[in-house]
Amino acid sequence: MPADLAIVVLAAGKGTRLKSGRAKVLHQAGGLPLIAQVLRSLTPLTRGSRASTAGVWVVVGHQADAVRAAARRSGCAEREVLSVLVGRGQA
């Protein structure tokens, strides 16, 4: 395992194919938003005794405030990387 580990979670998409007004990472699975499921799955990497994490970065765009809030509720020390969407597939 590397000495320093930086994790980037891409959560900026609109999810237009879902035909919903909600960002795709805010849809729920197992009672939690998808972003929470992803961040929860990273726990073994971020809290392992042999790994030193440089942090978990969540790239936000569409409905950024709601995605940030869901990430914070998941216990993620989130840092915004992307704040403006240019267009489909360009995040």
Alpha-carbon gap, residue 1 to 12, rounded angstroms: 28
* The pairing of beta strand 28-29 with beta strand 4-11: unpaired
Q: Quote the pLDDT of residue 1.
A: 43
Task: Give the model's pLDDT for residue 42.
Answer: 84
pLDDT digits (tens, 9 = 90+) for 12-46: 888 888 888 888 999 999 999 999 999 888 877 77
pLDDT at 49: 45
- Cβ neighbours of residue 67 closer than 8 Å, sequence gap 6 or more: 11, 23, 25, 26, 35, 58, 60
- d(C-alpha 83, C-alpha 60), whole Å: 6
- Whole-number pLDDT of residue 48: 60
Q: Does residue 4 have a pLDDT over 90? A: no
What residue segments make up the domains of the chain, in order of their start? 4-73
Name the pTM for this structure: 0.73
